[in-house]
Structure 1
Amino acid sequence: MSHTIAGKKKLLSRVRRIKGQSIALETALEGEPNCMAVLQQVAAIKGAVNGLMKEVLEAHLREHLGGEDMTKDERLEEVEDVISILKSYLK
């Protein structure tokens, strides 16, 4: 079973929280928000997205790279895929 399926409820909960934070930020920006409140909300959203990324990435690494059933070439390909994702995420 894929780690994203096994942790589906928890991941969806995180995504819904991020969605709520984004909606709150949008609503605030439609009004006359305090700059500090906007900065704080943006920081909270970034932290929530980082937490989601950490959780999915950790589970992925444990399931896909920690397994013993991969060949060396498959493992190297998987590592390159993860590096590519991390590079785009960290831009």
Structure 2
Amino acid sequence: MTENQLKWTGFFVTVIGVVGLVLIFFSVDFGTSLADSWVAKQGGASTERYHIILESYIHSFLIAGNILFGFSLLFAIFTYFAFMLLPKR
């Protein structure tokens, strides 16, 4: 990999990591808004069913955020070692 490719890879890793962190930290807000829109579309739901839908939406965002953040960490480690092994000019 060239130095320019490694810099773009670092940028890509940073963006994916930030998106993952946003999904993790705001999963409750995102899940709540989706659950509220689901209830509005259904025209109402029982409290138990709403709670199940709410938790499933929140968990979906948590899982997606963790996958993206984990991928970015793994790829950041790869990029770091590839940059360190790049011959110096």
The TM-score normalised by the length of structure 2 is: 0.49
- Which structure's relative contact order is higher, taking Cα pairs within 8 Å and 6+ residues apart? 2
Higher helix share: 2
